[in-house]
A and B are shown apart, each in its own frame.
Chain A
């Protein structure tokens, strides 16, 4: 039996968080869902010995206390954490945000979809390919969706 997946969403927006959780449950109820409401809380969770490290991190940009860019830098500078794929998950579609986060090591930049079917489609593609060609899957996905995805 394969180990069940674990996703971490770092986002201060509770509406987006509950939609994300709802859709993720529809996709696969066995995926364990963790949530942090800002970068600081995320790092605290990730560095806690008792936490099970997530398979994917979804990271928002604008958050209080510690934003996504700073959090991403911290994750990529941490020996234990830097291999976890980070997907930027945000309202922005600004090229400077995209360039900066991709340069810092995010594997993908997704502008939050406004269509739940799209979100479901994205989450199920990610869930199905976390350990096999995640980047390639996302690249394929970006060509076949109206959601703004940059890899």
Chain B
């Protein structure tokens, strides 16, 4: 609908007739005040505004119209017989008009202008409606995603708790199976070696299951809200090596540890990381070669395995190299996934959880872990950890 504002009824009538003949919906107002009231109430696609009016003049009306958020985009064409100077025309434009037509005007040209401006307005409005609609949809989707994410976090935490409780409760009956099997073996089966052998198989399997449950427990109890402390990694490695003392001396292994940096970590978790990797290196050593493991570390520029060393770097690269049996790098992803084993149980012990725990810990530390290896030529594990966890949290 088009609104014509003019204080002279004759002008209103002639313009209204002209537009109606050209099939436009038309409304009229005979003063600025009346026009503003109507604009607030109705939807218009174009306003034709007389400049010279008693009370509010056209410029004032235009300024108010462009001030309302509802009407600010409605095109205004000024119409004037008196104020035809350049300065009046300029004022018309600055007060919010899109055109300034002086009387007498050519009706055909005015109609063309009206057609153009109302078409432009309709298109702009359609676009903005589409945009609003899209924005609403995006907002709705974002909200839905946020909710879904929250639900996921909750069910994840529940699952973790469940895994912890389940594996904890599994320990109890299993321990009894082992205990009582041993008692039967010791007290009643001394003279029946065949039965003893079956009992030993029960014990071996139960022990294996026990290790499995223990590893699962460790995996599910890796704290979600850990306490980071600046720690000398050399001390952590030494602690891990003390815990592995028995297997190190059994294998007669030689271990070399360089000076490692001090970085912000959860000490118990990183101790476990070194324990897992070193015990893997011992486990997968070559049968007739003295195991040699070298642990070194340096500060680097970026969170990338190949990053350049830098004394002021914000990341720490730890490299653990062994001379063991190695593995084919096509299995690189597999070695870090839960329960994946590259070797038969009889060849090498283990549950296949160790490295997935390691990976989870490193990820909790906002770091990354990868490995390089060739079959029969040893393995190198590379860990990148941020030196400073608080800074990492702020940027991520």
* Residue among B171, B179, B183, B186 making CB contact with A92, cutoff 8 Å: B171
CB distance from B90 to the nearest CB of A (A): 78
* Known contacts A91-B171, A92-B168, A94-B221: A114-B178 contact under CB 8 Å: yes
Interface centre among B182, B217, B268 (most CB of A within 10 A): B182
Q: Whole-angstrom distance between the alpha carbons of A91 and B179 in the complex?
A: 12
CB distance from A93 to the nearest CB of B (A): 7
Q: Whole-angstrom distance between the alpha carbons of A13 and B183 in the complex?
A: 18
Residues of A within 8 Å of B221, CB to CB, are: 94, 96
Q: Mark B165-190, 1 if CB is under 8 A from A, else 0.
A: 00010011001101100110010000
| B176→A15 contact, CB < 8 A | yes
A19 and chain B: residue at smallest CB distance: B179
The answer, yes or no, to whether B214 is at the interface (CB within 8 Å) is yes
CB distance from B222 to the nearest CB of A (A): 11
Residues of B within 8 Å of A92, CB to CB, are: 168, 171
The answer, yes or no, to whether A95 is at the interface (CB within 8 Å) is yes
Q: Whole-angstrom distance between the alpha carbons of A96 and B223 in the complex?
A: 10
Give residues 16-34 of A contacting B (CB, 8 Å).
Answer: 19
CB distance from A97 to the nearest CB of B (A): 10
The answer, yes or no, to whether A112 is at the interface (CB within 8 Å) is yes
| B172→A114 contact, CB < 8 A | no
| A95→B183 contact, CB < 8 A | no
The DSSP consensus for interface residues of chain B is helix
* Known contacts A92-B168, A92-B171, A94-B221: A114-B179 contact under CB 8 Å: yes
Residues of A within 8 Å of B182, CB to CB, are: 114-116
Q: Whole-angstrom distance between the alpha carbons of A15 and B168 in the complex?
A: 18
Q: Whole-angstrom distance between the alpha carbons of A91 and B172 in the complex?
A: 6
Q: Whole-angstrom distance between the alpha carbons of A62 and B168 in the complex?
A: 10
Give the number of chain B interface residues (Cβ < 8 Å): 15
CB distance from B183 to the nearest CB of A (A): 6
Residues of A within 8 Å of B186, CB to CB, are: 116-117
* Known contacts A93-B214, A95-B268: A116-B183 contact under CB 8 Å: yes
Q: Whole-angstrom distance between the alpha carbons of A62 and B172 in the complex?
A: 10
Give the number of chain A interface residues (Cβ < 8 Å): 15
Residues of B within 8 Å of A62, CB to CB, are: 168
Q: Whole-angstrom distance between the alpha carbons of A91 and B186 in the complex?
A: 22
| A112→B175 contact, CB < 8 A | yes
B172 and chain A: residue at smallest CB distance: A91
Residues of B within 8 Å of A115, CB to CB, are: 179, 182
Q: Whole-angstrom distance between the alpha carbons of A31 and B139 in the complex?
A: 73
Interface centre among B168, B178, B217 (most CB of A within 10 A): B168
CB distance from A49 to the nearest CB of B (A): 35
CB distance from A147 to the nearest CB of B (A): 12
Q: Whole-angstrom distance between the alpha carbons of A96 and B226 in the complex?
A: 12
Residues of A within 8 Å of B179, CB to CB, are: 15, 19, 114-116
| B175→A91 contact, CB < 8 A | yes
Residues of B within 8 Å of A13, CB to CB, are: 172
Residues of A within 8 Å of B175, CB to CB, are: 91, 112, 114
A61 and chain B: residue at smallest CB distance: B168
Give residues 122-173 of B contacting A (CB, 8 Å).
Answer: 168, 171-172
A112 and chain B: residue at smallest CB distance: B175
Q: Mark A74-94, 1 if CB is under 8 A from B, else 0.
A: 000000000000000001111
Residues of A within 8 Å of B268, CB to CB, are: 95
Residues of A within 8 Å of B183, CB to CB, are: 116
Q: Whole-angstrom distance between the alpha carbons of A114 and B154 in the complex?
A: 37
Closest 7 CB pairs of A and B: A114-B178, A114-B179, A91-B171, A91-B172, A115-B182, A91-B175, A114-B175
Residues of A within 8 A of B (CB): 13, 15, 19, 62, 91-96, 112, 114-117
Q: A15-B179, A114-B175, A114-B179 are in contact. List 7 more A-B contacts (CB 8 A).
A: A91-B171, A91-B175, A94-B218, A95-B268, A114-B182, A115-B182, A116-B183
Q: List 25 A-B contacts (CB under 8 A).
A: A13-B172, A15-B176, A15-B179, A19-B179, A91-B171, A91-B172, A92-B168, A92-B171, A93-B214, A94-B217, A94-B218, A94-B221, A95-B268, A96-B221, A112-B175, A114-B175, A114-B178, A114-B179, A114-B182, A115-B179, A115-B182, A116-B182, A116-B183, A116-B186, A117-B186
